[in-house]
Amino acid sequence: MNALSRNDRAAWLMGPSFKCLATPEESRGPAWRLVLLGPPGVGKGTQAELISACLGTCHLSTGDVFRAACRRCGGKETPAMAAALEFMRRGDLVPDDIVWEAVRERVGCLHCHGGFILDGFPRTLSQAESLQHLLEEERLPLHAVIRYSLPLEEIVARLSGRRTCEACKAIFHISTHPPQKENKCDHCGGKLCQREDDRPESIAVRMEAYKNSTAPLIQFYQNLGLLTVVQATGSPEQILERTLAALKIETPLITE
Ligand code: AMP
């Protein structure tokens, strides 16, 4: 079994009634509970995957929840989900109540015995406060909030060159991490696509949303004594190394 299949991330993506297959009895080292913060394109998704592979934690991304809901509905989404998807297409934040409903209904995922990495959530002060209350209620304190930092020009270059596999969600970049065959995923042969919100007009809206709504979370988590800053320059592996060092983790527990 590889590291990622140890956690049933599908449950997080499949809506309220989907049963998580991860067995709570299984014990495999400390259960890390982390939040990844940083502007779009800084590499949070890639780092979340790499950290998960090392520590056996569940990678939970609200952006992935919405994209999965969109695929599942096949054009027949509820009015609330249709509105959420329209916000997403434009690069705007989805309203807090819709996001919170999606998180609240899968609260069991936060109890995952392997721990969790939240990627793209929380994104507003109100979400951060709600999450903090929930984690206190559930007695699941966070261990750390990692803030990835990167100059703006590099962020825009990363976003506009990013391509994602439609099937397995693997991430490539047209210049820094190109696939072996043009537009084909190296892992599963799936088609590589540019996310709708990685187009220039949406990137500008997303950066603005980050500056106005998400950047204040830096102070929020600093006040809670949880914030750790990691420079997001260099290769994904170099950033991972810095992240693990910041968490004072010497040896990755799971390497596959
Ligand atoms: P991401 O994959 O994290 O970049 O998210 C893609 C898009 O999903 C964002 O630009 C938002 O439109 C929406 N989204 C994801 N997570 C949240 C959140 N926590 N709050 C509001 N909108 C979100």
Q: What is the DSSP pairing of strand 144-149 with strand 32-37? A: parallel
Nearest CA to ligand 1 atom 2: 63
Q: How confident is the model over 133-191, as pLDDT tens digits?
A: 999 999 999 999 999 999 988 998 889 899 999 888 888 999 888 999 999 999 999 99
Pocket of ligand 1 (CB under 6 A): 40, 61-63, 66, 87-88, 91-94, 99, 120-123, 127, 197, 206
Would you state the pLDDT for residue 90? 85
Of the chain, the percentage scoring pLDDT greater than 90 comes to 46
Global confidence as pTM: 0.84
Q: Using CA atoms, how far apart are residues 136 and 148, in angstroms rounded to an integer?
A: 25
Residue owning tokens 């949406």: 202
Runs of H (alpha helix) within 74-149: 79-90, 96-104, 125-137
Distance 17 CA to ligand 1 centre (A): 22
For the stretch 97-123, pLDDT in tens is 999 988 888 888 888 888 999 999 999
pLDDT band at residue 252 using 50, 70 and 90 as cut-offs = low
What is the token pair recorded at 31?
């259960």
User: What topology does CATH give the domain 3-150+226-246?
Assistant: Rossmann fold (3.40.50)
> Rounded to the nearest whole angstrom, what is the distance from the C-alpha of residue 168 to the centroid of ligand 1?
19
Residue 22 confidence (pLDDT): 61
Active site (catalytic) residues: 44, 123, 162, 195, 206
With left for phi above 0 and alpha for psi between -120 and 50, is residue 80 left, alpha or beta?
alpha
Q: Hey, where are the domains in the chain?
A: 3-150+226-246
Q: Which of 59, 123, 124, when mutated, tests ligand 1's pocket best, judged by the most ligand atoms within 8 Å of its CB?
A: 123
